[in-house]
Amino acid sequence: MPAIPVDDIAINIETAGAGTPLVLLHGSFMNTLMWEPQLEGLADDFQVIVPDMRGHGGTPCPVTGRSFNRPRDVIQILDRLNIERAVIGGFSMGGPIAIQVALDYPQRCLGIVLLATGPGAGDRPLQATQEMCAVAEAKAQRLLELGVVEYFRETPICDAPGVKEFLENPEHRRFFEDILKANNPAWLADWLRLGGCDVPPELVNHLPFRRSRRLPEIKMPVLFMVGSLDVPFLPVAGLLRSKLPQTAIEVVEGASHMLNIDSAEKINRRILQFGQECAARQ
C-alpha cells in the first residue's frame, strides 16, 4: 500500500488481513520482509501492519532529532489507518519501541508482544560527543563502501549467540541476506549517523535506563518469547518477572534469535492466542 506520511517523512508499510490490529516492529538492519511468516500466517485473524522503521527498507531517515521519536511514528501510522487500539509487537530493536509506545500511549495498546528483546541496555549521552560523531560517520562510510550484507558480516551481531546458529542454516542465511539487501544503503547509513546526533531533551525518558525504571507503569498484558539458543536475551525473562508480573514468558526450545522465522508456526500460534485474549479484554 502507499507509504504513510508522518511529521517529516513517509513510512513504508505492508499490511495483510483483517481483524484485531497487530503492529510488528522489526530489528536493526531488518525491514518488513522479516515478517513474511507473520504476514502470511496471521492474516486470517489479524490486521497485520508491518512498517519499515526509519533508515530501513523503504523508509528514509533524516539525520535529525525527530528520527529518535519512533514511538510517535507508530502512533501516527495508527492514526492514518484510523486504528484506535492495537497489539504492538517488537523484535530485537523493535522491542524498546513497542515498550515506549505502551508507556507513552497506553490508551492505544491492547497488549505488547516482545520477541527476543527487552527495554534496551545502556544509556547514551543526550548530547553527542565529537568521538560519537566520528564513530557514527565512520560506520556510515564503511557501510556505503561495503554494502549492507558485507557490512553486517563485520558487525558483532553476526557472531552473537542466537544469530550465529540461525545463520548456520543455509536456507535461513539466504533469507536473512535477502532481508539485508532489501535495505537502501544510503538510508541505512543515515540511520547509523544518528549515533552522532543529539537526542532531544524532551525524549530523555526514551533512554533505556529510564525506560526500565518505568516498566511497572505498564498495566496491559505482555507476552515475552525468546529462543533457547538466544543466550543474550534469556535473562530478560527475569527482569520482566520482577517488573511486569502480568507477563506471559515462554522459552521456545531450539529457536534462535530469529525465532519468528525458524519457529514461525509456534510463534504465530501463540500470538494468535494472545491477541484473542487482548481483544476479549476490550
Q: How far apart are CA 236 and CA 224, in angstroms?
A: 9
pLDDT at 1: 67
Q: Compute CA distances 96 → 9, 16, 142, whole Å.
A: 21, 24, 26
Is 248 among the domain residues?
A: yes
Buried b (16+ CB within 10 A) or exposed e, 226-243: bbebbeebbebbeebeeb
Is 209 among the domain residues?
A: yes
Is 210 among the domain residues?
A: yes
* Domains identified in the chain, total number: 1
pLDDT at 2: 76
pLDDT at 223: 98
Is 177 among the domain residues?
A: no
Is 190 among the domain residues?
A: no
Is 257 among the domain residues?
A: yes
Domain that holds residue 95: 4-126+200-280
Q: Which residues of the chain have pLDDT under 50?
A: none
Q: How far apart are CA 94 and CA 71, in angstroms?
A: 10
Is 208 among the domain residues?
A: yes
pLDDT at 127: 96
225 in Cβ contact with 166 (< 8 Å): no
- 64: domain CATH number is 3.40.50.1820
The DSSP code for 127 is S
48 in Cβ contact with 16 (< 8 Å): yes
Residue among 47, 73, 79 at smallest CA distance from 60: 73
pLDDT at 122: 84
pLDDT per position as a tens digit, 222-252: 999 999 999 999 999 999 999 999 999 999 9
pLDDT at 162: 96
Is 173 among the domain residues?
A: no
| Length of the chain counted residue by residue | 282
pLDDT at 121: 83
